[in-house]
Amino acid sequence: MRRRNKRKTFEQIEVIDAGAKGKSIAKAPDGRVIFLSNAVPGDVVDITTTKKRKAYFEGVATNFHKFSKKRTKPVCEHFGVCGGCKWQHMGYEHQLFFKQKEVENNLKRIGNLELPEIAPIIGSKKQYFYRNKMEFSFSDSRWLTEDEITSEETIQDRNALGFHIPGMWDKILDIKKCHLQEEPSNAIRLEIKDFAIKNGIAFFNPRKQEGILRTLMLRISSTGEIMVLIQFFEDDTEKRELLLDHIQKTFPAITSLLYTINQKANDTIYDQKIIRYSGREFIYEEMEGLRFKINAKSFYQTNSDQAHELYKITRDFAKLTGEEIVYDLYTGTGTIAQFVSKKAKKVIGVESVPEAIEDAKSNAANNSISNTDFFVGDMKNIFNSTFIEQNGIPDVVITDPPRDGMHKDVVAQLLQILPQRIVYVSCNSATQARDLALMKDDYDVIKVQPVDMFPQTHHVENIVLLEKRV
């Protein structure tokens, strides 16, 4: 018989640090770490534990004796319930401090690397309304507030269009105003919700797998172009066209109005047919005179301004003279590959998503870039000796993998060909450190540059330059 965790209470505990996944850190009197979800380093609090493990507790601050000087007032009314901006209660300069600290700790503790002096993190000029892409979910049984739950009144309106409650796949928080994407993002979302309710267009129920409206994706590019994609569950032509016609009429500035019918168990669209209802099938992003075509399935850095900073640093780290063969692994729509192409002899981009590679080829042609080639395939399979024989041994490799980092076979292949320089762009410095540890016998870490792409969150990008040992 399993013993239930008994809650503990600790009084007047100082919060001493910020850790992974946006948690803050305190220590219990017995020395065990306590991870908190609602405190800031410098707070002095009473803590009630929610989980007990051998080496640590998880808990919440239930009473504040002293508020930290690092605190700031959250701008969003949904803060604390919505899990999207976990650090909104912490001043931005302190957010940057802890992000830099996380990068340094991961590289040292996980990678056990010899490091140069790490450059100061590059902060974002925009701390709000910086995202070019947002995804929202519909629900016919929205998350209720504590006041609504304890109220004796019958709750009539249960529809929601917003974000998942952290850790709950079927609970959606209705969002009145989101501070992450510029207008007309909020206006479009609220109009779609109101029109659907007034016209009896059913919101999705994930448990029962029924309803018409499933998800909404909004992209607003740095050029001001707008993409709206609605994911429908039930195929109701009359109500679908009623809603799409209303959106088109109410927001004529929309560049690309798309939809898909998705009746599978999950919301992912990568295996779904995207249908153009009006406008173009894509929107454009621009950077240093280059135009990038972005479709519904395209990956593009979600902070356009900071993406430019990220790519400039990557290009600088690559130290290109015009004579190098460059491989851009996990190239996405080929943005980095094209961004560095002017200073390279040839750039080879590799990506697993076929639509992304189609966009990369199209973008290169539209940008009159002739020294890039793009290939589609699972990285661990396509990046092999035959591929390298056909395309040339790279002098420089740029790699920008997903959060899980590079597959061990990809790392092994890099160690077989030993390019002169590797520029490793990462959205997860822990897996980056793991991969770098596998290469430290053959490469020195020359430069490290953290970049903040996601203000108000704990996420941080990091760029590392490796040079082959002589």
**From the candidates 76, 82, 178, 427, which is the catalytic residue?**
427
pTM for the full model? 0.91
364-415 pLDDT per residue, tens: 999 999 999 999 999 999 999 999 999 999 999 999 999 999 999 999 999 9
State yes or no: pLDDT of 2 exceeds 60.
no
- Output the six-digit token pair for 355: 């639509």
User: Strand, coil or helix: what is 239?
Assistant: helix
77-90 pLDDT per residue, tens: 999 888 789 999 99
Q: How far is residue 411's CA from residue 380's CA, in Å, rounded to a whole number?
A: 9
Distances (CA, A) of 109 to 96, 429, 434, 437: 20, 11, 10, 10
State yes or no: pLDDT of 5 exceeds 60.
no
State yes or no: pLDDT of 21 exceeds 90.
no
* R_g of the chain, CA atoms, integer Å: 24
Distances (CA, A) of 363 to 217, 314, 339, 409, 453: 23, 20, 11, 30, 24
User: Strand, coil or helix: what is 284?
Assistant: strand
Q: Span 181-204, mean pLDDT?
A: 97
Residue 85 annotated to the active site: no
